[in-house]
Structure 1
Amino acid sequence: MKPGTRLKSAACDTEVMVIRAAEGQIECGGAPMAETKPADPAPLAADFSAGTLMGKRYIDADGKYELLCVKPGKGSLGVDGQALVVKDAKPLPASD
């Protein structure tokens, strides 16, 4: 998967843009994400139902994956069953 690819959730309205990715299956709401939305929605997994926030970047613990949420939804993001977390903003330098 290359940077700039837009993925859509099969379980909710979430859409993300790939910033950085390795080999693995990107998921939302417990269902695999794809470039096209399926006709029949997948069920939302209970352990991946925390939701996504517009404009936030989501990363994995190893830093191999980074996704930018461009449309929020009810499902939360994961890779191969491991949940992604919101990336912290870089602190601004002090202006003394």
Structure 2
Amino acid sequence: MTSAVRELRPGLQLASAVCGVRVIVVRAPADRTPQITCGGEPMVAADTAAPASGGPSAKPVTLIGKRYVDADGTVELLCTASGVGELSCDGTQMSRKAAKALPASD
């Protein structure tokens, strides 16, 4: 049985119901539970998800190893499996987090 996640907490693993995207919650707000979707469908707990794939010729949109954040920066997800679905938080597309610049060593 798959159902939408009711509570986000750091360390929770989520899976897409429409493609192969899997993520780990890095940061989540304590005062509310935003709805995380992938490809327009709510993400489910990874341990209850059935394996899904985006097809052999589909080019991934959500990339493994990248972090994705919502507009206010209160929700952060780390992608652990690539897929064709786009991540959204409360109906707004999440953006890829830019890597921090390392200090120059002299």
User: What letter matches 2:11 in structure 1?
Assistant: G
Aligned to 1:12: 19
Deviation string for 1:30-83 (max 9, x for gaps)? 1000112258x7xxxxxxxx7200000000120110000000000010011100
Deviation string for 1:7-44 (max 9, x for gaps)? 000110000000012321111001000112258x7xxx
1:1-96 alignment runs, 5 A limit: 1-22=8-29, 23-35=33-45, 36-37=48-49, 51-96=61-106
Structure 1: unaligned runs, 5 residues or longer: 42-49
What TM-score results when the alignment is normalised by the length of structure 1? 0.84
Q: Secondary structure at 2:105's aligned position in 1?
A: coil
What TM-score results when the alignment is normalised by the length of structure 2? 0.76
Q: Count residues in correspondence.
A: 88
Extract structure 1 runs of 4+ deviating beyond 6 A: none
Structure 2: unaligned runs, 5 residues or longer: 1-7, 53-59
User: What letter matches 1:77 in structure 2?
Assistant: L
User: What letter matches 1:8 in structure 2?
Assistant: A
